[in-house]
Amino acid sequence: MADLKQPNGVQIDLISAARMDGLASMEKIRLILDGVRDGNIVILEEGLSPDEESKLIEVTMTEISPDEFNGIEIETYPRSETADASFLDRLMGRESTNKLTVIGPANQIETLHKDETIIQTLVSRK
């Protein structure tokens, strides 16, 4: 992705569901982590599947390095009970994961408030 960062600014990558749709799980994780490791805030129109979230945590852990990369902060809207996919839905591959997701470097992003309708974060420069 082209680096559009301005001096003293924070780059935000808003990634559409269409862009993510064509990617394999590891490609999605790479796209996210490459952005975050560059100090960008990555916003996904649709979130990751539980399996991809699990892999994201695993890969993030392997990349943490003292004084360089402390890991990620990730926030999605909490799943409301009514929005939960039923067992039948999951069986039929109709699991809904379309939750807007914000991911950033752990040392630059802090969640101020989160509920089912709003995520408020404080983003600082490097």
Question: Does the protein bind other proteins through residue 96 (CB under 8 A)?
Answer: no
Question: Does the protein bind other proteins through residue 46 (CB under 8 A)?
Answer: no
Supply the angle between the helices 25-37 and 50-63 in degrees, to the nearest 10.
Answer: 40
Question: Does the protein bind other proteins through residue 39 (CB under 8 A)?
Answer: no
Q: What is the distance between the alpha carbons of residues 126 and 124, in angstroms, rounded to a whole number? A: 7
Tokens of 44: 């996904």
Q: Which residue lies nearer to other proteins by CB, 6 or 82?
A: 82
Question: Does the protein bind other proteins through residue 16 (CB under 8 A)?
Answer: no
Question: Does the protein bind other proteins through residue 51 (CB under 8 A)?
Answer: yes
User: C-alpha dihedral over 30, 105, 44, 27, to 10 degrees?
Assistant: 0
Run of H or E including 87: helix 87-91
Question: Does the protein bind other proteins through residue 43 (CB under 8 A)?
Answer: no
Residues near other proteins, by CB under 8 A: 49-51, 53-55, 57-58, 60-62, 64, 66, 70-76, 78-79, 81, 84, 87, 90, 95, 106-107, 111, 114
